Structure 1
């Protein structure tokens, strides 16, 4: 009788949503991504102080994001086999070292080295952070992933405010303030790691059982799963390149076309990114109700005509379109992660590392390519071309339906 009661209690506990843990890991995601956000936020500062070209700025963005992109899936695969709770605070310690180095870097080369340390911290944080969100989700998986991801997007949205309030008045040395942000994140993640380690044995046992049965059911569906996963990665590519173009270079577009100051340009980016954070939060619950495929499709296709219009309208209209576009386009951010995790059950860290890591990696390549394109044809024409990327969202029509995913997982 006691064994039966214990089993029932375990099942009941696994269906409960731990909002306390979700809020803390979401806050840590905010702090982690706000540290990353200071790098593109510093681009106008570095261009003025060091005379860097768009290509060099793109290389800095590439150095940050490609490290996270390459290592995130690797970390995810490793932790699927053997979860590492205390890797979370260790990763943020690497970011703390990197942000201090960024503040003190005397040359382009040292900046690249510093952002590599920040990329390493991000590579460790994201797959393990997503696993914590999954463990704390209970039966509300979409909502849990939205809470976790909205923290990160909120951190990214802080970049324009960071530029206007800290980096413009203080310059490069202002990045040193974020060593304190990193220290707070390390402390919170230590608490998370203790909770993670305590709950790991029960959760991992349940995941292993589910993983084995799911893998057996999916042997005959390998081709369909692989095709769907490739489509998801292509959609992430399109979204990430567009967002990379906006976050890294739209400020230069407004300075050239609207005669804005750096501070004025950051207000437009802030609106875009805050709206994106809100879209991320609402996307998960909407997908739980209306379907993941439908939300992914609509987020790409509805935003496409808006992105195409943005370079051709006056400042006031551009501000409004940016805000709406950010909300709609980013509503699929957390949904693509959940879709991939349900596409390949039992590989929570791997799928989180692959989808979120690919978003970083595609953003890295996009930053470099778009920066090079801006040097060749000019920032205005580059922004016009970038605006067509969300049209790739038409490929969503080829994804398996939510019902098909459920059939595969039975």
Structure 2
């Protein structure tokens, strides 16, 4: 006869455990969705060369996907809060993949624009519902679970351009070229999206989340939305995304312009920074489960201040390279904590919260990158312009100090 589990063991092994198989599958779905948006910048040069597009037209096409995906996401999140459906996840992946995949078979920029709008809507359909499912299947380890989920998006950032290079451009290998099917190679995105959407549609239907939708959660005693706290958290998130997007955008150019390194060296630094970021995302989620989400956000915010203040003053590329690791920790570690806190502050509208934290914040934060570029042109280089990142980090740290413990924790 099996002995009953001692009380101490029950504490160590809670009944609501994270389902690693499900969270990994959702992370893989996140990768297959986000690789489409990150493939577009790599695809634009091929479209421009084939159809004679100018920079304005390329920007017009990029706007179609990214802006629509980000701005529509909160509204679709609210819709998902009302009519939560698991099939939103595979539908979003399929639409996002079709939007990118069809561009290689179109010759008119307006048709491409409409196709990319469909892709952007697909990304907006995917993220709120997928983030909510990730929250549910993470059990009591939501920090780790949301970190694993967000790492899938980081993987999409790396995989998108690689697929374009292989399927569209090809990789010369002596007398042999690996891949390289021209613009019709974008069909690879449709194929990948169809496979992943089919797998997720089959699996998500079997999970039977109907009994744990937000409608049930919102009906629980004491559940309410804390809009004031969510506003303060949005300040933390927007400044964090502004710092991350601006720094990663100009990191290769910084190594070239300030340290007079080659383009390959600059790109290597970006890859190293991204690797540090992915690792920090995972460890930050685990640390948040142990020490608390607010504490991780505050520690990361204050860690970024001295690093960003010193970085533009460093004249050695070796020392600057060493600073990339702690800076990646400061910028990437608190991300999953912010997503989880947002879902807890708006426990009755987790889809809307996910739409803001995973969609709008990325785009609004990304608006700081052109500001940094303007400052670099006006002030004579990226080194003096990088000083603008310090006051932005100060704003984020101040907001972090005012974060409150969610009532629905």
Question: Normalization by structure 1: what TM-score?
Answer: 0.79
Per-residue deviation, 1:46: 9.2
Whole-angstrom distance in 2 between the partners of 1:105 and 1:263: 33
Write the mapping of 1:170-189 to structure 2, written as runs, cut at 5 A. 179-181=187-189, 183-189=191-197
Of 189, 207, 210 in structure 2, the residue corresponding to residue 201 of structure 1 is: 210
Per-residue deviation, 1:373: 4.8
Q: Report the RMSD for the aligned CA atoms in angstroms.
A: 3.8
Contact 1:76 1:127 in 2 (8 A): yes
Question: Normalization by structure 2: what TM-score?
Answer: 0.79
Closer, same or farther in 2 for the Cα pair 1:265/1:354, shift >3 Å?
same
Closer, same or farther in 2 for the Cα pair 1:210/1:100, shift >3 Å?
closer
Bigger mean CA deviation after superposition, 339-348 or 151-160? 151-160
Write the mapping of 1:330-349 to structure 2, written as runs, cut at 5 A. 330-349=332-351
Write the mapping of 1:10-29 to structure 2, written as runs, cut at 5 A. 15-29=16-30
Kindly provide the CA deviation profile for residues 287-324 of structure 1, in whole angstroms up to 9, marking residues without a partner as x.
11111111011112202322333344333333222233
Whole-angstrom distance in 2 between the partners of 1:348 and 1:259: 47
Kindly provide the CA deviation profile for residues 165-219 of structure 1, in whole angstroms up to 9, marking residues without a partner as x.
8898769987865642553243223332333334132222xx43331235x554x
The structure with higher relative contact order (CA 8 Å, sep 6+) is 1
Closer, same or farther in 2 for the Cα pair 1:391/1:246, shift >3 Å?
same
Whole-angstrom distance in 1 between the partners of 2:45 and 2:305: 28
Per-residue deviation, 1:286: 0.8
What's 2:235 paired with?
234
Write the mapping of 1:101-140 to structure 2, written as runs, cut at 5 A. 115-140=116-141
Contact 1:64 1:364 in 2 (8 A): no
Closer, same or farther in 2 for the Cα pair 1:360/1:67, shift >3 Å?
farther
Write the mapping of 1:74-85 to structure 2, written as runs, cut at 5 A. 74-85=75-86
Closer, same or farther in 2 for the Cα pair 1:20/1:343, shift >3 Å?
same
Of 359, 362, 365 in structure 1, the residue corresponding to residue 361 of structure 2 is: 359
What's 1:395 paired with?
398
What's 1:293 paired with?
294
- Match status 1:192 vs 2:200: yes
Contact 2:73 2:355 in 1 (8 A): yes
Write the mapping of 1:308-347 to structure 2, written as runs, cut at 5 A. 308-311=309-312, 312-347=314-349
Bigger mean CA deviation after superposition, 327-336 or 381-390? 381-390
Kindly provide the CA deviation profile for residues 305-351 of structure 1, in whole angstroms up to 9, marking residues without a partner as x.
22333344333333222233123310111110101111121322121
Of 383, 386, 406 in structure 2, the residue corresponding to residue 384 of structure 1 is: 386
Bigger mean CA deviation after superposition, 110-119 or 329-338? 110-119
Kindly provide the CA deviation profile for residues 44-69 of structure 1, in whole angstroms up to 9, marking residues without a partner as x.
9999998977x988776655432222
Whole-angstrom distance in 2 between the partners of 1:289 and 1:51: 52
SS of the equivalent of 2:220 reads helix
Aligned residues: 386
Per-residue deviation, 1:374: 4.9
Per-residue deviation, 1:163: 8.8
Whole-angstrom distance in 2 between the partners of 1:371 and 1:113: 30
Closer, same or farther in 2 for the Cα pair 1:188/1:47, shift >3 Å?
closer
Bigger mean CA deviation after superposition, 316-325 or 13-22? 13-22
Whole-angstrom distance in 2 between the partners of 1:47 and 1:317: 39
Closer, same or farther in 2 for the Cα pair 1:158/1:100, shift >3 Å?
closer
Whole-angstrom distance in 1 between the partners of 2:380 and 2:82: 47
Closer, same or farther in 2 for the Cα pair 1:167/1:217, shift >3 Å?
closer
- Match status 1:141 vs 2:142: yes
Which runs of 5 or more residues in structure 2 are unaligned?
Answer: 1-13, 173-179
Whole-angstrom distance in 2 between the partners of 1:337 and 1:358: 13
Q: Who wins on radius of gyration, i.e. which is larger? A: 2
Write the mapping of 1:243-254 to structure 2, written as runs, cut at 5 A. 243-254=244-255
Which runs of 5 or more residues in structure 1 are unaligned?
Answer: 1-12
Closer, same or farther in 2 for the Cα pair 1:19/1:186, shift >3 Å?
farther
Higher helix fraction: Structure 1 or Structure 2? 1
Contact 1:34 1:156 in 2 (8 A): yes
